[in-house]
């Protein structure tokens, strides 16, 4: 079972086609949106929400990992987007940090950011299936099919990678991969409670 997640949108040139493809197959995904893009293209997140997809917070600028930022900047990155998500946010306040190239390392969080996320009742969603579609827009499908993991990260941005989403979905379903929306395997913080070790993910 693989959970589809899309980061860094919404993008008017890409997100509608992604939503069309998911609707054709009756699939539901989770979209982790960047606040400054949400401010410009809220109607796309509204469409995703109306079609039953979950919407989560992926920082306001997607500029740098939280572990490299001071407390005030990290707070603004999280809270500005959460405010914009009013009426669209998943009840569990889903949040995905910016990984700086998909890396799960000590730059991911600062201690201040962890404290803010737990105090705010957020659920943090990481990843374990990362085909790096933003680096290889034409070759990511093979990696996505070959990798293990439950939470797949793709990006609904204008790299050309989502031109191959239909191919991926067709091949994945033909291979017996089922798509669901269980994010728990990659959720170290759930509704404000730390439920899995954060070793290696927090700046000392």
Q: Which residues are known to be catalytic?
A: 7, 155
Q: Is the separation of the CB atoms in 154 and 165 below 8 Å? A: yes
Q: Is the separation of the CB atoms in 82 and 55 below 8 Å? A: no
Pairing of strands 193-194, 189-190: antiparallel
- CB within 8 A of 83, min separation 6: which ones? none
Q: Which residues are bridge partners to 57 per DSSP?
A: 33, 95
User: What token pair was written down for 124?
Assistant: 């943090």
Q: What is the C-alpha separation between 181 and 195, in angstroms, rounded?
A: 19
Task: Name the nearest CA neighbour of 17 among 146, 133, 139, 165.
Answer: 165
Give the Å distances, CA to CA, from 83 to 31, 38, 51, 87, 154. 16, 11, 21, 9, 24
């Amino acid at each position: 079972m693989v959970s589809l997640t899309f980061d860094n949108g919404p993008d008017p040139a890409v997100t509608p086609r992604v939503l069309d493809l998911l609707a054709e197959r009756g699939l539901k995904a989770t979209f982790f949106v960047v606040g400054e893009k949400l401010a410009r293209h809220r109607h796309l997140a509204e469409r995703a929400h109306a079609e039953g997809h979950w919407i989560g917070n992926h920082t306001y600028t997607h500029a740098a990992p939280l572990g490299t930022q001071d407390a005030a900047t990290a707070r603004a990155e999280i809270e500005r987007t959460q405010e914009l998500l009013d009426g669209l946010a998943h009840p569990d306040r889903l949040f995905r940090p910016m990984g700086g190239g998909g890396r799960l390392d000590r730059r991911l969080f600062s201690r201040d950011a962890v404290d803010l996320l737990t105090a705010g009742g957020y659920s943090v969603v990481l990843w374990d299936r990362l085909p790096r579609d933003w680096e290889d827009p034409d070759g990511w499908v093979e990696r996505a099919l070959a990798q293990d993991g439950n939470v797949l990260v793709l990006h609904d941005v204008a790299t050309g990678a989502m031109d191959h989403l239909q191919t991926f979905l067709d091949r994945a379903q033909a291979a017996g991969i089922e798509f669901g929306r269980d994010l728990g395997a990659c959720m170290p913080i759930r509704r404000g409670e730390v439920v899995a070790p954060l070793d290696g993910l927090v700046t000392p």
